[in-house]
């Protein structure tokens, strides 16, 4: 009982001080290591994990659950490691009965921490979005992440998997009851022969032989087949079958107007739809209605204005090429004829020494060789690394503006931008941009973001 | 014509490895050298007999072991290549391929390596990430990251490539050796980054060895930016190294 009361009090204090939500859980776990395992959780506990799309998918799932009038508890704001999950669940529990009072719990879970979090309780379902090259300084490589995550998938937990992503999809091999989702819309497929900086779909994750694709959505995501061992994209329960006029069509029936019209968001939408229908028992019409026109206010995209230029700050997961590729895709899909790209590469991490820039070479900057990209402004301590990468990508020198000094960056953005300004940076570096925006008569349109410590 | 063979570029492809050969080629071309790049990979034979350089990039541990099995078929040609002074650059986990043996603590399996280096490798279940400053040659400084789960043990007959000046992970002691070197023609290092992309002076050194003489100053923008990037990163890491050494005591 005391663990729950202490956690609630610490969380309330933390909220008032604007502090993170992991500390109460960490303290409680130190004092009461069995706290989590002694909670009474609802029958449906859905863990959402994978490299990219966790936060958005959890937010989509929560919105669907709320639309269906289910009482849902989720860590919408992240805090996805064991301590954060502990804080969420203990502070949501009744101190006397230890019951978490909800119809459903939806947990974003860090893929490297599932092995610790789910030692203490077992989620009924686990949605694994994908396994991409992601924060390799922390994660090493995808196969290492796959091995770590496999230790965190409890026996008996039912999986919901992306039928288009080979490595995470291979978790379903021989696992009964696995549900798959896919994106098959022809409009979202890559042109055959599209080149990328790397190809994680070249070899089969099961037998290691060369793999074939019927089509690709983005990089190694697509309809794959290994002709040697027979591992192939499984049949999906639900699929985005078309994408036109700004809408995703699910199963040829349900029309969704998405917040972001790109392949990555299509994967988020269909993963949430599939989980809602197949796991949460929500009827497809309600799930589609909840997703239609839904705008997530998770601050991943910040609209701003500077010196007459409108712009968007698109936050990309640290050192994660697919996240930056998604931002590039969004910028290039803009029907506007003139755009400026701003790329800020500065600290990367506030906790660790992180100067490895090898991930820049895995981003498809070659795609910025597009006539609508009028200027590319590079700023932050590692602007020269980014410049070297851009030049090797074939970007003409006269299109680059290199300003490593963050305090002079806004002047450059203000004076040299042409057209709409797409700014890309990671979570750690976002306030290096936002805090300086106001000083140059710029302002944030939405969502509201205050000054933060850099 | 300088012939560079990229070994398994579609397989041993972590940490931007492809860019090393790409930039080296550009550097050579700015020195008016003609370069032919060919690929050696599964089911694709490359003529090592005419190669001036072989590049083997970093891959996952399991992929490194698969590449080792395939490379066994080339063991004789690789020996001959080294005997005639060919330049071999190997990075990250792939250094293990050229050791005498590899033991895999994850599985308990033991593999015979190609035996180019008088050293043993051990794959462990634990990954470590560290950023390093090293010195080599006449005191030049090399920077980069080691992102590895492999421990290497050099025997007394094996010369190291670099001397470690600082390692953020403290895996390498200050003053200890890193990597493997043979007669100035073999550059095998756990450091990725990729190594010669982050260290343009090392790229110049290899390019000059390949071209057989001093290359003219490169005036291209990418090369200028590579140097500025190196200077910035070296400054950051130097500052970090002072901080952590002060903290240590």
> So what's the pLDDT on residue B247?
52
Provide the CB-side half-sphere exposure for A115 (13 A, CA): 9
In the predicted model, is pLDDT for residue A263 greater than 80?
yes
In the predicted model, is pLDDT for residue A293 greater than 80?
yes
What CATH class is the domain A2-291? alpha beta
pTM of the prediction? 0.93
> So what's the pLDDT on residue B46?
86
What integer best gives the mean pLDDT of chain B?
Answer: 94
Is A355 close to B145, i.e. CB distance below 8 A?
yes
Q: What is the mean pLDDT of residues A173-184?
A: 96
- Report whether the peptide linkage leading into residue B244 is cis, meaning its omega lies within 30 degrees of zero: no
What integer best gives the mean pLDDT of chain A?
Answer: 92
Question: What is the token pair recorded at B209?
Answer: 């060895």
Inform me whether the C-beta atom of residue A357 falls under 8 Å from chain B C-beta atoms. yes
> So what's the pLDDT on residue A4?
85
Question: What is the token pair recorded at A57?
Answer: 């998918």
* A191 contacts A158 by C-beta, under 8 angstroms: no
From the list B10, B14, B237, which residue is nearest A355 (CB)? B237
* A285 contacts A277 by C-beta, under 8 angstroms: no
- Report whether the peptide linkage leading into residue A447 is cis, meaning its omega lies within 30 degrees of zero: yes
Q: What is the mean pLDDT of residues B184-204?
A: 95
Q: How far apart are CA A436 and CA A443, in angstroms?
A: 10
Inform me whether the C-beta atom of residue A151 falls under 8 Å from chain B C-beta atoms. no
Q: What is the pLDDT of residues A335-388, one digit of tens each?
A: 999 999 999 999 877 777 788 999 999 999 999 999 999 999 999 999 999 999
Provide the CB-side half-sphere exposure for A319 (13 A, CA): 21
CB pairs under 8 A between A and B: 107
Interface test with A, best of B8, B9, B16 (most A CBs within 10 A): B16
In the predicted model, is pLDDT for residue B246 greater than 60?
no
Q: How far apart are CA A148 and CA A134, in angstroms?
A: 14
From the list A140, A210, A392, which residue is nearest B127 (CB)? A140
3-class SS letters over A318-380 = CCCHHHHHHHHHHHHHCCCCCEEEEEECCCCCCCCCCCCCHHHHHCCHHHHCCCCEEEEEEEC
For a pLDDT cut of 90, what percent of chain A falls above it?
70
Q: What is the pLDDT of residues A148-166, one digit of tens each?
A: 999 999 999 999 999 999 9
Inform me whether the C-beta atom of residue B242 falls under 8 Å from chain A C-beta atoms. no
In the predicted model, is pLDDT for residue A443 greater than 90?
no
Give B69 to chain A, closest Cα distance, Å.
Answer: 13
Burial of residue A284, with CB atoms counted within 10 A of its CB: 0-12 exposed, 13-18 middle, 19 or more buried: middle
Q: What is the pLDDT of residues A315-338, one digit of tens each?
A: 998 899 999 999 999 999 889 999
Residues 6+ apart with CB under 8 A from A162: A50, A128, A129, A130, A168, A169, A180, A181, A182, A221, A267, A271
- β-strands A443-446, A104-108 pairing: unpaired
What CATH class is the domain A303-446? alpha beta
Q: How far apart are CA B248 and CA B132, in angstroms?
A: 17
Give A361 to chain B, closest Cα distance, Å.
Answer: 5
Least confidently predicted of A292-306, B27-41, B84-98: A292-306
Give B185 to chain A, closest Cα distance, Å.
Answer: 25
Closest chain B residue to A148, measured at CA: B125
Domain boundaries, chain A: 2-291, 303-446
Closest chain B residue to A378, measured at CA: B225
> So what's the pLDDT on residue B245?
60
Q: Could you give the domains of chain B?
A: 2-248 (3.40.50.880)
Inform me whether the C-beta atom of residue A435 falls under 8 Å from chain B C-beta atoms. no
Q: How confident is the model at residue B138 (pLDDT cuts 50, 70, 90)?
A: confident
CA A236 to chain centre: 21
From the list B11, B129, B222, which residue is nearest A137 (CB)? B129
From the list A208, A358, A385, which residue is nearest B229 (CB)? A385
Tell which residue, A367, A373, A380, A355, has the closest CA to residue A325: A367
> So what's the pLDDT on residue A60?
96
């Amino acid at each position: 009982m005391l663990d729950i009361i202490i956690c609630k009090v610490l969380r309330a204090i933390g909220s008032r001080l604007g502090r993170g939500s992991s500390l109460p859980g960490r303290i409680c776990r130190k004092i009461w290591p069995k706290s989590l395992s002694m909670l009474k959780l609802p029958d449906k506990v859905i863990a959402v994990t994978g490299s990219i799309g966790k936060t958005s998918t959890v937010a989509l799932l929560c919105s669907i659950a709320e639309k269906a009038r289910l009482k849902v508890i989720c860590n919408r704001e992240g805090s996805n490691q064991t301590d954060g999950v502990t804080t969420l669940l203990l502070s949501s529990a009744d101190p006397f009965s230890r019951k978490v009072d909800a119809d459903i719990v939806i947990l974003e879970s860090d893929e490297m921490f599932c092995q610790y979090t789910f030692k203490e309780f077992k989620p009924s379902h686990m949605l694994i979005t994908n396994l991409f090259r992601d924060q390799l300084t922390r994660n090493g490589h995808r196969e290492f992440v796959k091995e770590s995550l496999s230790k965190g998938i409890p026996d008996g937990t039912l999986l919901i998997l992306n039928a288009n992503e080979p490595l995470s999809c291979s978790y379903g091999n021989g696992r009964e009851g696995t549900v798959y989702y896919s994106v098959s819309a022809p409009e979202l497929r890559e042109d055959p022969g599209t080149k990328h900086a790397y190809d994680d779909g070249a070899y089969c994750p099961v037998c290691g032989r060369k793999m074939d694709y019927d089509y690709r959505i983005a990089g190694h995501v697509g309809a794959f087949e290994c002709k040697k061992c027979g591992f192939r994209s499984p049949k999906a329960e639900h699929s985005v079958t078309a994408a036109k006029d700004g809408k995703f069509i699910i199963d040829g029936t349900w029309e969704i107007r998405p917040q972001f019209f790109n392949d990555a968001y299509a994967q988020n939408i269909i993963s949430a739809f599939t989980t809602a229908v197949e796991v949460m028992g929500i009827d497809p019409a309600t799930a589609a209605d909840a997703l239609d026109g839904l705008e997530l206010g998770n601050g991943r995209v910040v609209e701003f204005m500077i010196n007459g230029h409108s712009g968007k700050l698109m936050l990309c997961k640290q050192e994660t090429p697919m996240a930056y590729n998604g931002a590039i895709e969004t910028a290039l899909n803009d029907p506007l004829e003139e755009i400026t790209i701003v790329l800020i590469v500065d600290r990367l991490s506030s906790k660790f020494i992180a100067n490895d820039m090898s991930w820049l070479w895995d981003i498809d900057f070659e795609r910025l060789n597009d006539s609508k990209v009028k200027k590319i402004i590079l700023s932050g301590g590692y602007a020269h690394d980014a410049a070297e990468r851009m030049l090797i990508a074939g970007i003409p020198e006269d299109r680059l503006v290199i300003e490593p000094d963050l305090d002079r960056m806004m002047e450059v953005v203000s004076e040299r931008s042409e057209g709409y300004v797409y700014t890309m940076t990671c979570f750690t570096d976002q306030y290096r941009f936002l805090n300086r925006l106001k000083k140059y008569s710029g302002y944030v349109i939405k969502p509201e973001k205050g000054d933060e410590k850099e | 014509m300088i012939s560079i063979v990229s070994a398994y570029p579609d397989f041993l492809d972590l940490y931007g490895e492809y860019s090393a050969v790409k930039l080296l080629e550009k550097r050579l071309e700015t020195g008016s050298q003609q370069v032919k790049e060919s690929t050696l990979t599964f089911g694709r034979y490359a003529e090592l007999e005419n190669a001036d350089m072989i590049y083997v990039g970093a891959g996952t541990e399991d992929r490194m072991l698969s590449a080792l099995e395939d490379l066994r078929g080339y063991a004789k040609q690789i020996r001959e290549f080294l005997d005639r002074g060919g330049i071999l650059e190997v990075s990250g986990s792939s250094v293990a391929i050229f050791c005498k043996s590899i033991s895999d603590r994850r599985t308990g399996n033991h593999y015979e390596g190609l035996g180019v280096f008088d050293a043993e490798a051990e794959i462990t279940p634990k990954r470590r990430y560290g950023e390093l400053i090293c010195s080599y040659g006449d005191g030049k400084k090399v920077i980069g990251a080691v992102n590895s789960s492999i421990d290497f043990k050099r025997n007394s007959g094996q010369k190291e490539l670099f001397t470690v000046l600082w390692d953020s992970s403290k895996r390498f002691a200050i003053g200890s050796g890193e990597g493997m070197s043979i007669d100035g023609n073999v550059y095998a290092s756990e450091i990725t980054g990729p190594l010669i992309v982050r260290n343009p002076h090392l790229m110049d050194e290899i390019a000059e060895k390949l071209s057989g003489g001093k290359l003219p100053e490169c005036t291209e923008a990418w090369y200028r930016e590579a140097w500025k990037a190196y200077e910035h990163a070296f400054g950051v890491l130097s500052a970090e190294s002072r901080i952590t050494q002060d903290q240590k005591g």
